[in-house]
Structure 1
Amino acid sequence: MERDGFLELRGVASRYGSTQVLSDIDLSIAKGEFVALLGSSGCGKTTLLRLLAGFISPSSGEVKVRHRDVTHLPPDKRGMALVFQSYALWPHMTVAQNIGYGLKLKGVARAEIASRVSAMQAMLGLEGLEARKPQALSGGQRQRVALGRALAIDPEILLLDEPLSNLDARIRLSVRHELRALQKRLGITAIHVTHDREEAMVMADRIVILNAGRIAQHGSPEEVYNRPASAFVAAFMGAENVLSLNGHPDGDAFMLQAGPANEATTVQLAGRHLLPGAVEARFRPEAAHLFAKEEFLPRRPGVAFRGEVLAVAYPGGHWRHVVRLGDREIMADAPQAFSPGMRVAVHVPAESLFLFNSPTS
Structure 2
Amino acid sequence: MTHDAFLHIGDLSVGYGATRVLHGLDLSIAKGEFVALLGASGCGKTTLLRTIAGFVAPSAGRVSVAGRDVTRLPPDRRGMALVFQSYALWPHMSVAKNIGYGLKLKGLPSAEIDRRVAEMEALMGLTGLGARKPAALSGGQRQRVALGRALAVDPQILLLDEPLSNLDTRIRLKVRHEIRALQKRLGITAIHVTHDREEAMAMADRVVIMEAGRIAQAGAPEEVYNRPASAFVAAFMGAENMLALEGRVSGGTVHLAAGPHNKATTLPLRRRTLASGSLEARFRAEAVEFRPADMPSTDAALTLSGHVEAVSYLGGAWRHSVRLGHEAVFADAEHALSPGTAVRLTIPDEKLFLFSTPSAGDAKPLPFTPAGSPERLPVSAAN
Common topology (TM > 0.5): yes
Residues 252, 268 of structure 2: 8 Å contact kept: yes
Match of 1:359 in 2: 358
Match of 1:106 in 2: 106
Are 1:279 and 2:279 matched, yes or no? yes
TM-score, normalised relative to structure 1: 0.98
Match of 2:48 in 1: 48
Displaced runs of 4+ in structure 1, greater than 4 A? none
Q: What residue ranges of structure 2 are gaps of 5+ in the alignment?
A: 361-383
Match of 1:313 in 2: 312
Q: What residue ranges of structure 1 are gaps of 5+ in the alignment?
A: none
Residues 261, 325 of structure 1: 8 Å contact kept: yes
- Percent identity reads 66
Match of 2:290 in 1: 290
> How far apart are the structure 2 equivalents of 1:23 and 1:149?
33
Structure 1: which amino acid aligns with 2:194? Answer: T
> How far apart are the structure 2 equivalents of 1:144 and 1:230?
37
> How far apart are the structure 2 equivalents of 1:278 and 1:69?
46
Residues 310, 320 of structure 2: 8 Å contact kept: yes
For residue 293 of structure 1, give the secondary structure of its aligned residue in structure 2: coil
> How far apart are the structure 1 equivalents of 2:327 and 2:3?
47
| 1:76-91 to 2 correspondences below 5 Å | 76-91=76-91
> How far apart are the structure 2 equivalents of 1:299 and 1:60?
53
Offset, 1:199: 0.1
Match of 2:372 in 1: none
Residues 278, 360 of structure 1: 8 Å contact kept: no
Structure 2: which amino acid aligns with 1:76? Answer: D
Offset, 1:122: 0.4
> How far apart are the structure 2 equivalents of 1:3 and 1:339?
51
For residue 97 of structure 1, give the secondary structure of its aligned residue in structure 2: helix
Match of 2:138 in 1: 138
Match of 1:202 in 2: 202
Segment of structure 1 superposing worse, 326-335 or 173-182: 326-335
Q: Deviations over 1:23-42 (max 9, x none)?
A: 01000000000000000000
For residue 158 of structure 2, give the secondary structure of its aligned residue in structure 1: strand
Task: Give the alignment's Cα RMSD to 1 decimal.
Answer: 1.2
Offset, 1:324: 1.0
Offset, 1:277: 1.4
Offset, 1:88: 0.1
Q: Deviations over 1:81-124 (max 9, x none)?
A: 00000000000000000000000000011000000100000011
Offset, 1:334: 0.4
Match of 1:163 in 2: 163
Match of 2:216 in 1: 216
> How far apart are the structure 2 equivalents of 1:243 and 1:59?
40
| 1:18-97 to 2 correspondences below 5 Å | 18-97=18-97
> How far apart are the structure 1 equivalents of 2:94 and 2:262?
64
> How far apart are the structure 2 equivalents of 1:61 and 1:299?
52
> How far apart are the structure 2 equivalents of 1:107 and 1:220?
41
Offset, 1:56: 1.1
> How far apart are the structure 2 equivalents of 1:107 and 1:270?
60
Structure 2: which amino acid aligns with 1:321? Answer: H
Residues 81, 151 of structure 2: 8 Å contact kept: yes
Offset, 1:6: 0.3
Structure 2: which amino acid aligns with 1:316? Answer: G
Offset, 1:140: 0.2
Offset, 1:300: 4.5
Offset, 1:360: 4.2
Residues 265, 299 of structure 2: 8 Å contact kept: no
Residues 298, 346 of structure 2: 8 Å contact kept: no
Structure 1: which amino acid aligns with 2:344? Answer: A
Structure 1: which amino acid aligns with 2:303? Answer: A
For residue 286 of structure 2, give the secondary structure of its aligned residue in structure 1: helix
Match of 1:332 in 2: 331
For residue 50 of structure 1, give the secondary structure of its aligned residue in structure 2: helix
For residue 64 of structure 1, give the secondary structure of its aligned residue in structure 2: strand
Offset, 1:270: 1.8
TM-score, normalised relative to structure 2: 0.92
